[in-house]
A and B are shown apart, each in its own frame.
Chain A
Amino acid sequence: MELKLENVTKRYGNTVALDGLSVTFHEGIYGILGANGAGKSTMMNLISDNIKRDGGSVTYNGKDIIALGDKFRAVLGYMPQQQGIYERMTAESFVSYIGRLKGLKGRELREQTAQVLKLTNLEGVRHKAVGQFSGGMKQRALLAQALLGDPKVLILDEPTAGLDPRERIRIREFIKELSADRIVLLATHIVSDIESISDYVLMLKKGRLIGIDTPSALISSLPESWTPVSGRPSLEDVYLCFIGDR
């Protein structure tokens, strides 16, 4: 399984959001680090074909994702950064509606709906309108819909934002379990999440990929003169050193 971005460029007027980005993903978790406006969400929106690219190609197993169309979207699970949600639907309705849009039906749909609601700890509030949910609960509902249909490519934009530590660790571990046979792209500002579960880390700065490696390799690449912010070197130091302009 291979998801490949080659020379991908995206501009918004004069602003270059992605500048000739080339990267290949295989099974595993890819943490994406970058400051606000670095191009993380743009990259994810390009992979989910929600915005038009200005150049380059995005292929899945060798075929362009636009040419694949529905076939690619059938293996895609996408959790967007914005908490856009059908506020008047209940959690169960929301997830089952998305399930319909993923092509699930009948018993399979009902079973998967129940399963993802349980996984995201929303089972007890499944008959409550999502508009009445807290930010963290909405986040879990969005994660639940992304997990439906056993997606092979999972794009998670800030999946643990707004969750309490216990919930965050639970979801993090769950994502880790999922990564065995699928590509997981995880964008978050919570660096510790990436450090603890990512197989690889992509570092984006001003639309450019400035590095990709395992978390430990990135940490060990810190200059010797660097003073860690919390006693021992971590991915936070990598972020601050290479992205944070410190």
Chain B
Amino acid sequence: MSEWKRVFSDTRRLILALTVTALCAVLFLSSLLYRIEPGAFGDMIAAQKAARTIYSQCENKNCGEIIALCDEITAKISAYCSYINGGITYADENGTFDDVEAYISETFPRLISLSDDAYAVNRFGGVLLTAVNEIRAEAEHIDGYGDYLSSIEKQAQVMSGVGIFQGSVEHDGFTSANIKKTADDYAAMRDVEVIFGSGAAVEHWISYSYADYFFLVMIVLIVLAFLEDRKGGLWHVIRSCKNGRTSLGITRLEILICGSLISTFLIYCVPLMLSCAVSGGIGDIQRPIQSLVSFRSCTAAVSVLGWLLRYFFLKVLSGVFIGLLFWCVLGTLSSPQFSLAVLGAVLVSEYALYEFIPAGNALDIFKYLNVFSYIRISDLYTDYVNINMFGKALGVRGVMLSVMICAVLGLAVFAVLIQARRRPEGHRSILSGIDAMLNRFLDIIRIRLSLGGWEMYKSLVYGGGIIIAAAVVILGGSLDFRGIVPVNGGDYVYNALVIDREGVIDDSFDEYVERIRESDAGAELANVAERLERDADAVRERATAGGYEPWLVYETNYRIYFGDYAASVQRLNGTAAILFTVFLCVSGITYEYQSGTVYMVRSLKRGRGALLTRKLLAAALFAVIAWASVYLREISDFIAYCQPKTFSAPVQNLGALSQFPLRITIGQYILLLNALRLVMLTSVSFISLFIGSFTKNVLGAYLLGTAALVLPAVLTVLGLDVMKYFSLVLPVSAAELLWGMGGGSVIYALPWAVAAALGIAAVILTRKRWVGEEKRLRPHTTVTTKTDHWKNL
């Protein structure tokens, strides 16, 4: 029982497991609500609720009627959004705009209540349109399922008759076997009666692929718990105990099964419940699984409920399988470092095989009998694949499941044997030879590292920073940089002309407008030219009053990247930048505490001020990496998307920045923006370092840094607006504040001053903690010496 208690009641493990679960649930909820935006949580939930009413409208209708109803709803929602965005009212075969408005106010009253905010209407309408599209796709799928089955059979017949298969050497080989098996498998589905129902909950849930990786993390956490005694040097003691071998191995096997069960519940059942709560349930659970669009290709005759039970069972089994695999690899190797390196190499190779071998290839077996295929087990039911096994076509699901069951049994025996027979000492290790060789080579470099180089090396290699940095660079690639632009139909031509004529407003501009007027493009274009001239005159007037050169600038581009349209994107990206910086920097000083080397290092000549300076420099460099991962990408995306020609224009030419207090160009504005971000991230890096110095272990530092710096930013992004005063997300993202200064108010600079002051204070306090000062010596106090005791002895 003590082993159960040790594994499941360890505080650190529990915190990690709960963090992973919470992260999994939050990310799923975020994806379910199409990215949670500031203040929009309630709207998005309401939008999902409204989407459920569309399902109820589809009840008792045949597929054709559902499709027609979906088209009608789509047209009405689009018409209403167009009206809100551009004031366009139009009538079509669905009726007048009044009819549209009446329908919307009756069916989606929340949409009407948002009508003052075009952005909110677009967001709400977007969710509704997506839901309608999903319902339409489901109805089309139900309607066409019979045809789909017939088409496969027909295709198989045609292909069997084509000479290349019939008369070729491959006639009896994989290709023809595959054709035959496919036709037979789908023929067995003829009796399946697909039924329309609420499939969104399951569809959204199985498309959430991050859950598989969170599940993997949970399994790794459990397996690493089995190897803790090796790291702590307890291995010898445990092996010498009565129940320390086979009995312990069996207990650990039970723990792994139980852990896989709990992980399956936390990582898969919880999001499914969330999905059902948001999307309104699964519908009729007795209907065939093929009723869901994603399961169109599934050839297993099973109901939705049956499939869910089967899926959870297979998830638990795959968790046990993967856990056993890791346990066996890690348990066979004596050196913890090497075993982790080997595990890393195995995972990288497996992922490469999984990702790069195309389906239908002769090397299929490596793709499907692969850890990552077992992690993504839902694909076994959503994709129909036969693999080439010595010329025979075998269903991938059957092969994978058979192999998994055999492997679980084999690995379970092997794992228990390792626990029972593997001795802590006396193994001939080939790997230690490689280790020594690698270290011999690396020592040539390491012995030449400067102090700054050493700090970077320690953080990147020993502290695992290189993995975090790689993750930061990769995750940075999945960020969005553009806000959503309200579509205004009436602006298309005007916008096109502005983009075409961006530049200095001078005589050539007047000629340009004149040319448009004189062209025979019609009255509409002439009106647009007039609007263009009017706006240009306003800019001219402003520029003359302000004493700068007037430019015609297409402002929307700047608004969607740095302005009001980008507010939510900026906050989200700011949070990502803070997260990256915290994870890269927070363990900078903690590493010394964890190693227990603080006293030794502090007693060295350069172990205080000089070392701290290098640590601060390393933190600043990591801040640059975080900045580049997010904001260098933003600049690159901006240039690629907008191809701006107006970097030389005075920034006051942008309407929203007409009162901007500094006389700079737009290019300099963007430079200033990014310089501010870099300074703020550097400040965050110093604060992280300071926070980390309060903990004695690296994991604690990550948790503390996340709680102090990342969590307030996340809460701000999730819409808890008051948290922006307790978070550094606004000064870090900077765009919102700098854009706010466009009205001439310098009060927006206050958060930067506060953040910079916090950064400086963090440096001073960290220095005080690490270096110490003469002041800390208290005034000399006289204490009577007791050395004369000796004389009395």
Contact = CB atoms under 8 A, between A and B. Distances in A.
Contact of A49 (B458, B603, B784): B603
B641 interface: no
B793 A128 contact: no
B11 interface: no
A20 to B, nearest CB: 3
A90 to B, nearest CB: 5
Interface residues of B, number: 50
B793 A242 contact: yes
B14 interface: no
A127 B451 CA distance: 20
Given A93-B446, A96-B447, A54 B337 contact: no
A19 B446 CA distance: 45
B636 interface: no
B785 interface: yes
Given A93-B446, A101-B451, A129-B337, A45 B599 contact: yes
A84 B781 contact: no
B344 interface: no
Nearest to A146: B600
B603 A92 contact: no
Contacts of A70: 605-606, 608-609
A179 B604 CA distance: 20
A83 to B, nearest CB: 7
A97 B591 CA distance: 15
A100 B787 contact: no
A101 B598 CA distance: 13
A204 to B, nearest CB: 11
A85 interface: yes
B440 A127 contact: yes
A21 B697 CA distance: 35
A202 to B, nearest CB: 10
Contact of B604 (A23, A98, A209): A98
A26 interface: no
Given A100-B450, A127-B436, A127-B439, A208 B599 contact: no
Contacts of B440: 127
> Interface centre among B450, B609, B787, by most A CB within 10 Å?
B787
B113 interface: no
Give the contact-size bracket for chain A. Answer: 35 or more
B445 to A, nearest CB: 10
Interface stretch (B149-157, B299-307, B531-539, B772-780): B772-780
Interface in B425-464: 435-436, 439-440, 442-443, 446-447, 449-451, 454, 458, 461-462
A48 interface: yes
Interface string B599-620: 1111111111111000000000
A10 B772 CA distance: 17
Q: What DSSP secondary structure best describes chain A's contact surface?
A: mixed
A110 B596 contact: no
B603 A113 contact: no
A210 B790 contact: yes
A45 B598 CA distance: 11
A76 B603 contact: yes
A236 to B, nearest CB: 17
A82 B606 contact: no
A82 B777 CA distance: 25
B783 interface: yes
Given A66-B777, A110-B447, A128-B439, A86 B604 contact: no
A142 B599 CA distance: 12
B200 to A, nearest CB: 49
A137 B385 CA distance: 57
Contacts of B462: 86, 88-89
B56 interface: no
B242 interface: no
B337 A90 contact: no
A209 B462 CA distance: 43
Interface string A48-66: 1110111111000000101
Contact of A210 (B439, B599, B602, B789): B789
B597 interface: yes
Contact of A57 (B461, B780, B785): B780
Given A84-B596, A90-B439, A100-B450, A52 B605 contact: no
A87 interface: yes
B335 interface: yes
A103 B780 CA distance: 32
A109 B447 contact: yes
Interface in A171-221: 203, 208-212, 221
A17 B611 CA distance: 30
B10 to A, nearest CB: 21
B786 interface: yes
A209 B608 CA distance: 31
A208 B787 CA distance: 7
A55 B781 contact: yes
B643 interface: no
A234 to B, nearest CB: 18
Interface string B300-336: 0000000000000000000000000000000000010
Contacts of A100: 449-451, 454, 606
A145 interface: yes
B597 A85 contact: yes
Contact of A22 (B335, B596, B787, B793): B787
B790 A113 contact: no
Given A7-B781, A50-B602, A85-B597, 9 more contacts: A7-B782, A20-B784, A53-B777, A57-B780, A84-B595, A92-B447, A102-B605, A211-B789, A242-B793
30 contacts: A7-B781, A20-B785, A22-B787, A50-B599, A52-B778, A53-B778, A55-B780, A55-B782, A55-B783, A70-B606, A70-B608, A78-B599, A84-B596, A84-B598, A85-B597, A86-B462, A90-B439, A100-B451, A100-B606, A102-B606, A103-B605, A103-B606, A127-B440, A127-B443, A131-B337, A142-B600, A210-B790, A211-B790, A211-B793, A212-B787
- Nearest 8 pairs between A and B by C-beta? A84-B596, A20-B783, A55-B781, A48-B603, A211-B790, A78-B603, A127-B439, A101-B604
